[in-house]
Amino acid sequence: MVHEMKRLGRGALELLKVAEELRDAEIELEFLTGPLAGKHDPSGHGAALFAFFAAMAESERDYIRDKTLEGQETARTKGKAIGGVKVSDQDMLATALRLRDDERLSLREIASRLVIRTGKKRGQHPAPATVMRMLREHDEQTTTGTLEPTT
């Protein structure tokens, strides 16, 4: 039982693979919502219908992705920033580097020891992904020889 088809897989190929595995195991599939709401036997008539809607779902995802990228490019050409506000500064970077290099802590442990000092998120810890990005940018700048301030 699945809420809707897009919860079953990310693309048509993955959806069809799942349908084939269900068919091989003789498992019936039930969608609770969407164009395929109801029970379906992944073999026979149900397989063709499933393949059609899987292809349509992938097409819709591609369209949404393309429109999102177009919007981001338009925003960039107009000088608008894409993404969130930077929460790191040179002090945070220095602390993160020390924790990574000297104490050999994980990204999650480093993030839990850092505190954002400005903006709406002041007083909170940065996400581990933010720490990873900050350290990666520093490492890339160090290897290319262009040390620019990370803000």
Q: Which residue has the tokens 């580097």?
A: 97
Residue 144 is encoded by which pair of tokens? 């290319």
Query: For the residues of 62-117, what is the DSSP string, one character each?
Result: HHHHHHHHHHHHHHHHTT---SPPP---HHHHHHHHHHHHTS---HHHHHHH----
CA pair distance 111, 100, nearest whole angstrom: 11
38: β partners: 31
pLDDT, one tens digit per residue, over 83-126 is 767 788 999 999 999 999 999 999 999 999 999 998 888 999 99
Per-residue pLDDT at 83: 73
- Rounded CA separation 18/120 (Å): 43
Q: pLDDT tens digits, residue range 17-59?
A: 877 787 788 888 787 887 778 887 767 676 777 677 777 777 7
Q: pTM above the 0.75 mark?
A: no
Q: Which of the two residues, 74 and 34, has the higher pLDDT score?
A: 74
Please tell me the distance from the alpha carbon of residue 104 to that of residue 37, in angstroms, as a whole number: 51
